[in-house]
Amino acid sequence: MIHLGLWWPLLAGLLLLLWPSLGRAFALVAAGLSLLVSLFLFAGYGGQGLAYTSQTPFLPEVGVYYALGLDGAGLLLWLAVNLVVLLGVWVAEVPVRFLALAFLMQTGLLGIFAAQDLLLFYAFFEATLIPALLMLWFYGGPERLRAIYIFALFTLVGSLPMLAAIFAVRYLGGAPSFLYADLAAHPLGGSAAALAFLGFLIAFAVKTPLFPLHAWLPSFHQQNHPSGLADAMGTLYKVGIFAFFKWALPLVPEGFREFQGLLLFLAAFGALYAAWLAFSAPDWKTLLAYAGVSHMGVGALGLFSGTAEGTVGALYLLGASMVYGSAMFLLVGRVYQRTSSLEVAPVRGLARHAPALYVLGMFILMAMIGLPGLSGFPGELLVLLGAYQVAPWLTFLAFLSVIAAAAYALSAFQKLFQEKPQAQVVPDLAGREWGFAVLTVGVLLLMGLYPKLFTTYLEPLGRALAALVGGAS
Amino acid sequence: MQETVLLPLIVALPLLGFVLLGLWGRRIGEPAAGWLASFLVLGSFLLGFWLLLQGGAKWTLAEWLPGIPFSLRLDNLSGVMLMVVSGVGFLIHLWAIGYMHGDAGYSRFFSYFNLFIAAMLVLVLGDSLPVVFIGWEGVGLASYLLIGFWYTERVNADSARKAFIVNRIGDLGFLLAMGLLWSMFGTLSISELVEKVEAGGYSFTTLSLAGFFLLIGAIGKSAQVPLMVWLPDAMAGPTPVSALIHAATMVTAGVYLLVRHAFILHGDAFLAGSIVALGLLTAFYGALCSLGQWDIKRIVAYTTLSQLGFMFVAVGVGAYWVAIFHIVTHAFFKALMFMTSGSVIHALGGEQDVRQMGGMRKHLPITHRHGLVAALASGGLPPLAGFWSKDAILAYTFEYGPWLWALMLLASALAALYSIRWYVLVFLGEYRGKAHPHESPPVMLWPNHILMGGALGVGFIGLPYVIDYKNFLEPFLSKAIGEFPHEKLPVWTEWTLIIVSALVAIGVLLWGFRFFQQPLPQWYARFQQAALNGFYVDMLYNTLLVNPLKALAELLFSADRGLLGGFAGLGSLMGGLGGLLARLEAGALRLYLLGFLLALVLLLLWGVLR
């Protein structure tokens, strides 16, 4: 089942590339099937440890395995990825080949969350870059070359030290293979730990994105296709928090402790800094890019606190932000389809003509700024409870962003939807957009009202990590 | 106290209304939407009342988040608040059926209105801080939606946004309080916190800090100085909103929060002093500003600020039950004052400037009666409701310090003055406008009749002990708030205070009654100019805070956009200027690559040498 879930999107993507005439209907079915598979896996999860494990030697003499498995975090993120892909395929008006690239990327992302072998993880982590770059290359805006250059540079340069770190933890730590279980049983200590952690740190910080390595993100979003599909996939690619949680912290806990103070500071500062900047963003994509940096700063603060609550909060926030972040990009894509502009500045007053679109926007926006009852809040609260025990002042700094978030989000929202409506009449939600709206709002409410559904499975992971890296609990 | 699933039903009823009207409001239409919303709130009221008679109730969902249950609790304190919120809320719903008649967003209005009631009930009933916070931000959302109800006007949308953002400053305090209490006690359940605080074994300074954080939250929601600036602007919403949310219920949530956590605040001289000081400042600021307004709703809004200041002072001096008492009486007379104002606005076809009013005594005789009672109750005339709760606050302040009593007496004199000014300008003299005033329909008059009854009589639930030794409210509330024994004033001191405050109220009311009917003297006009603009606090905030913060956002933004990676970013932040940037970028890239290669080589070397 897990293999089907993992490779089916790739297959679907390849089929679509070869026979684009299969068309949107096929894409929808394919995306729906992926979501069904992950729902099935989630429903069948027993709640303890790693499930659906599978291990096949790949290069046994070197210790490389094709090893998969899903725990609570992996399942949550699988669900998030598959849901977002379905939403994107459902609502974004893009060429079929574009959808195919999204499917290719989907497999890469699912692989990142399921890989139980460090080299396999690395392969997925890097391979996912390719479809992301291709989307930008084929469907990006006029300045996409620069955006590609920056994006690729950050990612590739980040991954070199990571490769070094991978070999370091395996060989210096003395593990018999690259399997997660083996590596975790032989954590790397001593002074190499700090260097190895630094290797991971750079690669993962780029993908978190953690201040100041977030600089690639705004141009990435600005230049991507206005439909928002590529942006949604990019949002899913912000796997840094997961990667820290799954690999960097457990494998080199000593190294993490060396950097913990710095990381807490960068996370907290970045959370406020990005939220503040977002206020000045001239267009919605830039605004959402910075909003994402801010949320991930909050999440990273929780994870780096090394507490159980903070870790659970970080993972929950990661999953939630994948959904509301992507949904917001897709919504903005629908707005672009109506107004041919993504600029924040001129007043548009869309609410008068498109009240349902307005309500949908309100829901996603409120989830984004952490309104209790919607999906953003449980994660933020748990991060707060965890981080406050370790670094109250930095927590204060980071959570100043809740004020800034209200400022940037509501100000831009007001210009887009409220005030004097323009003469040009825009259509309200129609057709497939209703499906998108209902599904999105349903998930935002579910994650906001009944977080226990996922936190039950995340909690043991949080405790285990807290015991390992030694925060208070 | 029984465990019952009926308790969440109290919240579920108005929530159901929100969902139904939100989804099918247009089909339900006018006036069915209004009646549906109203009766759902009445349902909450009746159910709550019944459960309260049973001796309270609680309900717990074992685990909502790890270690955090979702729990509701109906005790005497939350019960009183529940009665006020759903009872007065029901009346204002009814009244709004008439007031919102013909509005294009009729059912949308009642949908939001029910959302507000549901959120407010969660806030009141929540027995776990995160649950309270759900309601806390929920009412903030409802307030945002309703202030900006007519969002096609920019000023309304701006006011709504301002209210939300300023409230978020307070919310941050609430969040930090949760963080701190969790790290101290490992629980956020209020009932458990009570036990843990009693048990001791923690640093009192830290607990004091938690109280301080809660205070920040309360300041935001209850619009105390220095976060009061959002409340006057909130009048941009329809008048029922002002009556329900920005007078009777939501703005008292901060006071309720503090009373609920009296076990944290009590005995902390620093916190008590801060609360008293802020309350006092707010009481005076609100009163003075109200005296300078021309917009009828802003007049009343500032009187609300002033009365909220009274409640804060009550909390500060440890008179927790009195603060709740004042919430109750205030809910009646202030809602009445707002709805009378609304009836007048309604009668005059939307006119809000009191200079275009006057003479309503003749034109709207029934509404005039409501207005008179509201003004006298708000002005503290014995034996109306406002007098008894205000008097109880004064008695406690006398115990705290006679100087505070004197200041509060002055503040209540101002309260009498602004109440009578409002009455005189609206109802007396000759009509100065051009509309054709008409009395409101029954659906708007009946709620006001009932509120008028409350404004006249509800004070009798909390009479001073020298009159009624078996005061009902104090022991009733103390069961939930906790017993905080205090020395009762000697009988004759108490009597003297009562008589002095009665005389002051009567004297000022009479003086103002004449003063505001005559042409105003020069000094008053000068004072009025400053008061009209809220003593320029908004301008000050804009210059000192909002604009610099915005400018800094611009600056950081341009710095960040020019930056390619952190090092270049730091460089460009310092160097800053455009021309340098291109070279810096290229330089930083090289530095990057160099750094990574270095790291790689070091790692490999380490591996070889080991």
For range B354-373, the mean pLDDT: 93
pLDDT at B593: 52
Q: Which two tokens stand for residue B273?
A: 């002093």
Among B19, B147, B557, B609, the strongest candidate for a mutation testing the A interface, having the largest count of A CBs within 10 A, is B557
Residue A73, amino acid: A
Q: In this predicted model, which residue has the larger pLDDT, A148 or B420?
A: B420
- What is the per-residue DSSP string for B172-223? HHHHHHHHHHHHHHS--BHHHHHHHHHH--S-HHHHHHHHHHHHHHHHHHTT
Confidence of residue A471 (pLDDT cuts 50, 70, 90): low
A462 touches chain B (CB under 8 A): yes
Chain B residue nearest residue A290, CA to CA: B557
pLDDT at A34: 95
CA distance linking residue B335 with residue B249, whole number of Å = 9
β-sheet with B57-65: strand ranges across:
B2-3, B57-65, B68-74
Confidence of residue B8 (pLDDT cuts 50, 70, 90): very high
Q: Could B604 and A157 be called an inter-chain contact, meaning their C-beta atoms sit closer than 8 Å?
A: no
A308 touches chain B (CB under 8 A): yes
Please report the ipTM that was assigned to this predicted complex: 0.94
Q: Name the residue facing B65 among A276, A378, A406 (closest C-beta).
A: A378
Q: Name the residue facing A388 among B183, B557, B600 (closest C-beta).
A: B183
CA distance linking residue B440 with residue B456, whole number of Å = 21
* pTM for this entry: 0.92
Chain B residue nearest residue A153, CA to CA: B589
**How many angstroms separate the CA of residue A39 from the nearest CA in chain B?**
22
Q: What is the pLDDT of residues B11-50, one digit of tens each?
A: 999 999 999 999 998 899 888 999 999 999 999 999 999 9
CB pairs below 8 Å between A and B: how many? Answer: 181
Q: What is the pLDDT of residues B513-545, one digit of tens each?
A: 999 998 889 999 889 889 988 889 988 998 898
- Non-local CB neighbours of A262 within 8 Å, separated by 6+ positions: none
Q: Which H, E and C letters describe chain A, residue by residue?
A: CHHHHHHHHHHHHHHHHHCHHHHHHHHHHHHHHHHHHHHHHHHCCCCCCCEEEEEEEEECCCCEEEEEEECHHHHHHHHHHHHHHHHHHHHCCCCHHHHHHHHHHHHHHHHHHHECEHHHHHHHHHHCHHHHHHHHHHHCCCCHHHHHHHHHHHHHHHHHHHHHHHHHHHHHCCCCCCEHHHHHHCCCCCHHHHHHHHHHHHHHHHHCCCCCCCCHHHHHHHHCCCCCHHHHHHHHCCCHHHHHHHHHHHHCHHHHHHHHHHHHHHHHHHHHHHHHHHCCCCEHHHHHHHHHHHHHHHHHHHHHCCCHHHHHHHHHHHHHHHHHHHHHHHHHHHHHHHHCCCECCCCCCHHHCCHHHHHHHHHHHHHHCCCCCCCHHHHHHHHHHHHHHHCHHHHHHHHCHHHHHHHHHHHHHHHHHCCCCCCCCCCCCCCHHHHHHHHHHHHHHHHHHCCHHHHHHHHHHHHHHHHHHCCCC
Residue A277: domain span: 2-469
Q: What is the pLDDT of residues B60-112, one digit of tens each?
A: 987 899 889 999 999 999 999 999 999 999 999 999 999 999 899 999 999 99
CA distance linking residue B333 with residue B247, whole number of Å = 10
A412 touches chain B (CB under 8 A): no
pLDDT at B598: 60
**Helix, coil or strand: residue B331:** helix
Q: Among residues 187-246 of chain A, which lie with CB inside 8 Å of chain B?
A: 192, 195-196, 198-199, 202, 211-213, 215, 218
Residues of A in contact with B602 (CB under 8 A): 195
Q: Could B603 and A419 be called an inter-chain contact, meaning their C-beta atoms sit closer than 8 Å?
A: no
Residue A5 clears pLDDT 90, i.e. is over it:
yes
pLDDT at B604: 52
**How many angstroms separate the CA of residue B532 from the nearest CA in chain A?**
26
Residue A473 clears pLDDT 50, i.e. is over it:
no
Q: Could B589 and A153 be called an inter-chain contact, meaning their C-beta atoms sit closer than 8 Å?
A: yes
**How many angstroms separate the CA of residue A22 from the nearest CA in chain B?**
37
Q: Could B179 and A196 be called an inter-chain contact, meaning their C-beta atoms sit closer than 8 Å?
A: no
Q: Name the residue facing A212 among B130, B561, B566 (closest C-beta).
A: B566
What's the domain count of chain A?
A: 1
pLDDT at B471: 84
